[in-house]
Chain A
Amino acid sequence: MTALVANAGQGRWWRSRTVRRFTSHHLALLGLAMITLLTLACVFGPYLLPYDSLYIDLRARFSPPLTGHHYLGTDPLGRDLAARLLMAGRISLAVAFFAMLLSTLIGTLVGVVAGYRGGWIGAALMRTVDGFLSFPSIFLLLALAVALKPSPAMVTVIIAVTSWMEVARIVEAEVRSLREREFVLAGRMLGLSGAHIMFREILPNAMGPIIVAATLTVAHAILLEAYISFLGYGIQPPLASWGNMLEGAQQYLASAPWLAIIPGAAITIAVTSFNFIGDGLRDALDVRDDRV
């Protein structure tokens, strides 16, 4: 209902109400602040640090955090962990962001067509969604990562290909409920084309759930990238990502625990932030959702 009113109004009143609800959600604000800081740090931080992320200093191997100017210590090759963490953040966040864009695009397309057309096309599309959901995502992800050589762009595509289904389900349900509404009937009577009705009339009214799902997809994509890179099938060294920084960490767990703790903490902070923001958006945009 809110969405409908919003479309009719397009005024400042709707904006301010959504913004007000979002800003009264403390966790969402905290998430937004954390992710902004993290992004700024990843973008500008590497220029401010005294060490280059690729500079190898074997004399300074395994320095614990706060050794000299190595604020977060060094890795087994003596590279500065802080510099690597920020450079890795660029890759991890970029991969997650673009994976979200791509998977939201696929999911929205499938969801809108399935929800609006219905019938056997809709059934076939939604059963395909179910089919993809039947595979443990990690298996599918790893098999595809082995099949297609993992450059950062390919990792992005693979993650998108294995995580568009949730968006498709949400959009399909939303579109199906909007399909018989008056403004859609009116559009049909005016003789608008199916594509116009789907993407220009219905889609703007389904934006709320899509935005929420997209935010949560970023969180999910960060986790997926981290995991396949941790196993060595994702982003390949010397390019650093939060996941592949953890790759060798387990064998040094006893002697250099910071190698495992620091990148993992960065992942957790980023993912928590997106989950908080998603929760706030859900409240602000008035999205009913059975998911957690």
Chain B
Amino acid sequence: MRGFLLNRLSQSLILLLIVSIIGFVVLNLLPGGPLAQFGLDPGMTQDDLDRLKEQLGLNRPLWMQYLDWIWRLLQGDWGHSFRDNAPVLSVIGRHLFATLLLMGTSTAIAIAIGTWIGIRGATHRYSLFDHLATVGAMVALSIPTFWFGLVGIYIFSLKLGWVPAGNMYTIGDGSVLNYLHHLILPSIVLSLVHVAIWSRYMRTSTLDAISQDFVKTARAKGLTERRVIMKHVVGNALLPMITLAGVQLPSILTGALVTETVFTWPGMGRLFLDSLGYSDYPVVMGLLMFSAILVILGNLIADIAVAIVDPRIRLG
């Protein structure tokens, strides 16, 4: 387990290094580069900008600037948001909960429904249900999330009036019920694609598990089919799903950001767009790096979780 952990950790560190290089390239591509936030200030003359460049060391070689940038990131100095007039990390922190809440709820929905569809599809292979689930999944994967959100708002908020059309809560009403009411539509919209993905993988994984020898043994013992599936198949079929949850993280995060923009959900996606609109590039860069780190961390945790549950991984 120790060797596995060290190996996996060093992989994540290398990945962080590569991600930081990509991030640095994007930072320098942004209009005005690292000085973008000052360039927009009408009180700044070209002379001022040149002096700043000198002071901040931006006329040094790129690799020195990169090391400097990384060093500051590591120390927690992610720059300053001039729109919120606060450190970037604390701005991101304020929006983190909303995004995690949305992602968590949708993932729970996707896992619950997707697992059920996947198992049923595998145990009733080539049935009408299975065919419908296959086609349904492909169509679900083709619907743009933001458009599905708009249609959802049109039907369930504007026409039927069942749920609010946006925001996370009604101002002045901080009750849990109010939050839940606002959470229903966006989390269902976000979960559609992931129900599709999850159900397809679960189907494959269940089919793999069903063909294993221990399932034949269980059947030979005379267990009912239901008990065989519930006790012997599902557990083993769910194992690879832990890795999938990690692998799907960037896609769920992307989906959450898209959903947030349609539902004016006050999370990181909304923050990213608003910051882009205000050319608040320190926050844009901060979110870019923060989300990548979140994804790498998520994958690491998923891999460690699999290794804990499944000894074949950590020993193999």
Q: Which residues of A are interface residues toward B (Cβ below 8 A)?
A: 27, 127-128, 130-140, 142-144, 146-148, 219, 223, 226-227, 230-231, 233, 246, 249-250, 253-254, 257, 260-261, 264, 267-268, 271-272, 274-276, 279, 290, 292
Contacts and interface: CB of A to CB of B under 8 A. Distances in A.
B154 interface: yes
Contacts of B150: 246, 249-250, 253, 260, 264
Contacts, number: 133
B128 interface: no
30 contacts: A127-B18, A130-B15, A131-B15, A131-B18, A131-B22, A133-B250, A135-B291, A135-B295, A138-B269, A139-B272, A139-B287, A143-B30, A147-B29, A147-B30, A147-B31, A223-B142, A223-B144, A227-B146, A246-B147, A250-B150, A250-B153, A253-B158, A260-B151, A261-B154, A264-B144, A268-B143, A271-B143, A275-B142, A292-B196, A292-B201
Interface stretch (B38-46, B226-234, B253-261): B253-261
Contacts of B29: 144, 147-148
Q: Which of A136, A143, A268 has the most CB of B within 10 A?
A: A136
B142 A268 contact: yes
Q: Which of B137, B150, B250, B261 has the most CB of A within 10 A?
A: B150
Interface string B1-35: 00000000000001100110110001001110000
Q: Which of A127, A148, A219 has the most CB of B within 10 A?
A: A127
Given A223-B144, A275-B142, A134 B253 contact: no
A135 B15 contact: no
Nearest to A265: B147
A27 B197 CA distance: 19
A246 B253 CA distance: 22
B262 interface: yes
B288 interface: yes
Given A132-B22, A135-B288, 15 more contacts: A135-B295, A136-B291, A136-B295, A138-B258, A139-B257, A139-B291, A143-B285, A144-B26, A223-B142, A226-B147, A250-B153, A253-B153, A254-B154, A272-B139, A274-B142
B284 interface: yes
B305 to A, nearest CB: 19
Interface of B: 14-15, 18-19, 21-22, 26, 29-31, 135, 137-139, 141-144, 146-147, 150-151, 153-154, 158, 196-197, 200-201, 204, 250-251, 253-254, 257-258, 261-262, 269, 272-273, 276, 284-285, 287-288, 291-292, 295-296
A275 B201 CA distance: 17
Contacts of B288: 135, 139-140, 143
A143 B284 CA distance: 7
